[in-house]
Amino acid sequence: MTMYDLIKEKFRNKEFKNERLNKIKYFNDMDKIICISENTKKDLMESIIGLKSVRLIDISDTSSMGISLYENAQQVIDAEEKFKELMGGMMPLMTGPPEISNGAEFWKSEF
C-alpha cells in the first residue's frame, strides 16, 4: 500500500471540500482581470451554488493559478455553465483557454 493509499484510507470518512484549479496565462494585464472579476463578475460568482471562495495565486508576470473551493463535487459540475460564462468574459485578456482541473481535497493541515 502506498503512502497516498494510507492517507486516503485514514481520511476516507472525513468531509473535505472539492476544488477547481485553473491555470490562466494572460497578456500582463492581471490588474484588468482582477478589476473585471470584482466589478462585473462578482454577482455571477456569488450566484454559483456551493462556491465558498476563489483565490488567485501569482505564478509569474503572465500566469496565475485560480483555486475555487466548493462544498461538494456535484456543485463543481453544476457550476460549469456559469464558470464558462465567467471565464468567457476574460478571454480577450488571456493568451489561450485556461487549463482546468477538478479534484477532491483528501488531506489538509491547518496551523
Can you give the residue ranges of every domain in the chain?
16-103
CA 55 to chain centre: 7
* pLDDT higher than threshold 80 for residue 59: yes
Q: What is the pLDDT of residue 108?
A: 74
Confidence of residue 111 (pLDDT cuts 50, 70, 90): confident
CATH number of 16-103: 3.30.70.100
Give the global pTM.
0.74
* pLDDT higher than threshold 70 for residue 61: yes
**Bigger pLDDT: 4 vs 13:** 4
Among 47, 51, 49, 50, CA closest to 66: 51
Confidence of residue 12 (pLDDT cuts 50, 70, 90): low
Residue ranges of the alpha helices (H) in the chain? Answer: 3-10, 30-39, 42-46, 73-78, 80-88
